[in-house]
Amino acid sequence: MSTATIQENNSSNKKSKYFIGFFICFYAVCCLLSINRHSKAEIYTYHSEIWADKAEYYIYLPSLFIYDFKAEKLPPQIGEKTGNGVRVDSAKNKIFTKVTYGVALMQVPFFMIVNFLAKPLGYTPDGFSFIYNKMIDFAGVFYADLAFIFLFLFLVRYVSKRTAIIALSSLFLGTNLFYYSIFDTGMSHVYSFFLFSVFLYLSGLMFKPGQRGFMNIVFGLIIGLIIIVRPINIIFLPVFFMFNQPDWKNVKSLIKPIVIIGFSAGILIIPQLVYWKYLSGHLFMYSYPNEGFNFLTPHMLSLWLSTNNGLFPYSPLVLFILAGLICMRKTYSRWSLFFAIYFILISYIFSSWWVWSYGCGYGSRPYVDFYTLFSLPFCFCIEYIMKTKLRLYVLGSLFLFCIAWNLKLIFSYDGCWYGGNWDWQEFGKFLLSPTK
């Protein structure tokens, strides 16, 4: 083995140790933050991890591993106790949830460990006791932390390591990503954030000469997970073609990997079809009765600016992310245009949902998943700020103010906005209120 090869291997080992060390330290800190946040939250309350939408994502696990999907076996009044997150059809003896099973699938390793330890540790092994609630915190934080590693590896293809680290740190502290990574760990957003990060990292590696079939399987599984975690995530998949342009002239070489990717993704979708068959007797069903998109009446200004979970009032740092679209024009003009159009497109879709504020939550939560993609123009904005001392002092101060604003609101927030859609007086009181 040559000296150069040995040095390359040593460098690779050092990088791996750095990533592992970062993950362990960051994971420990974030777990402590999450546990501290939920330390005063009793189970079966709206502050608990298994409540309302969070319970709907989770219910697949106890239903499968403890109750055999039979409603009659569930604890009494479990629907009311979980904020109607667990829905029971007593007549048909079935357990209903409108959301897909992807989040539950990603929580399986954590659930199995907790389910094994519950009884020895003195907790009721019913899937809903205290230890199961804490499991959701550890799972959510795990995927949030792992996402940053893959997103870092993606970003350093285009910007310096220093810029990538500053961007990711700021993204975490300065947006509602922090809220869904630490506070609302049972929602789907942090899981999608992880999957999108892996998807972006792998996108630049696919369909390369000599690529192993294993890579196609992994990529297919990631796509399958993206879809079953939250079906609307399918709008993220075309992003692949911005970072990878397969050789369509040589179609024969693409057929095999595309088939493997499609088959791998399809395997993960099949269980969802089985569940819908169990519920309705049909392989396909629309599980959101009386809910849907009103594409003719979008509420984009409300989505962006309303005191009721508007994007910019809660996470003003996103303005710097959008400013990055201008900063990257010289280097990646085509990408800059794509990002701008894509932001408008997803905003139109999000604002067309029947409840554009998305109920109880912090900020406009659908954007959390897509911060992965917009972290790239954010990096260009940061590089622009750091070019001169004047920019660094002036814009840097405003930058830090936005982070402080976001954290102040998060630690003052009680989980729901109770004011009106444009109630700035109430928003001001909320901003100046003591932390909770």
| Residue pLDDT, tens place only, 225-271 | 999 999 999 999 999 999 988 877 777 778 888 999 999 999 999 99
Does residue 371 belong to any structural domain of this protein?
Answer: yes
8 within some domain: no
Q: Taking 60 as the threshold, does the pLDDT of residue 7 lie above it?
A: no
Q: Is the pLDDT of residue 2 over 80?
A: no
> What is the model's pLDDT at position 391?
84
- Whether 239 maps to a domain, the answer reads no
In the predicted model, what is the mean pLDDT of residues 269-287? Answer: 94
CB 89 within 8 Å of CB 110: no
Q: Does any domain span residue 196?
A: no
Please tell me the predicted confidence (pLDDT) of residue 290.
Answer: 87
In a domain, 155, yes or no: no
In this predicted structure, the answer to whether residue 300 has a pLDDT above a threshold of 70 is yes
Its domain, for residue 413, covers 300-432
Name the pTM for this structure. Answer: 0.94
190 within some domain: no
**321 in any annotated domain:** yes
- Cα separation, 37 vs 184, in Å, equals 10
Arithmetic mean of pLDDT, 119-140? 96
The verdict on residue 129 lying in a domain is no
Q: What's the total number of domains in the chain?
A: 1
